[in-house]
Structure 1
């Protein structure tokens, strides 16, 4: 008995590609929003409040980047 196995490369339509790009843009906008909100909230804290959280004022942008984009 003979078996036939055929494989085709997945082809993505233009609509699939556009949808993928739009999803990527949407995700990047959401991450940037988280970054901006985190920076805004941390900047408003006093040095004492930041110290209680274990964050130096100079580290605010690094902490916001980690919150939005991960390590």
Structure 2
């Protein structure tokens, strides 16, 4: 009986460890995506209106373009 209880604890620990590692990885990915978003917004806002017009970008499009750059067009 003790062997079964010990094996069950190992399985629970492995499942918990797996979920924890997945959560940490997801947080790291989200942090990287937010950094891409902020950098894109910062760089596009730094451009002059004329430069943006040359690129075919209106200032109102900056946040949408940054979101697409960070998370893709599905969001």
Same fold (TM over 0.5): yes
Offset at 1:53? 1.0
Structure 1 residue ranges without an equivalent (≥5): 1-10
Secondary structure (helix, strand or coil) at the match of 1:55 reads: coil
Q: 1:63 aligns with which of 40, 44, 65?
A: 65
Structure 2 residue ranges without an equivalent (≥5): 1-11
* Cα displacement string for residues 23-54 of structure 1 (whole angstroms, at most 9, x for unaligned residues): 00000000000000000000000001001111
Q: 1:40 aligns with which of 42, 48, 53?
A: 42
Which aligned segments of 4 or more residues in structure 1 are displaced greater than 6 angstroms? none
Secondary structure (helix, strand or coil) at the match of 1:13 reads: helix
Richer in helix (by share): 2
Indicate the structure whose relative CO is greater, using CA pairs within 8 Å and at least 6 residues apart: 1
Please, what TM-score do these two structures have when normalized by structure 2? 0.77
CA RMSD for the aligned pairs?
1.3
Count of aligned positions? 61
Question: What is the alpha-carbon distance in structure 1 between the residues aligned to residue 68 and residue 15 of structure 2?
Answer: 35
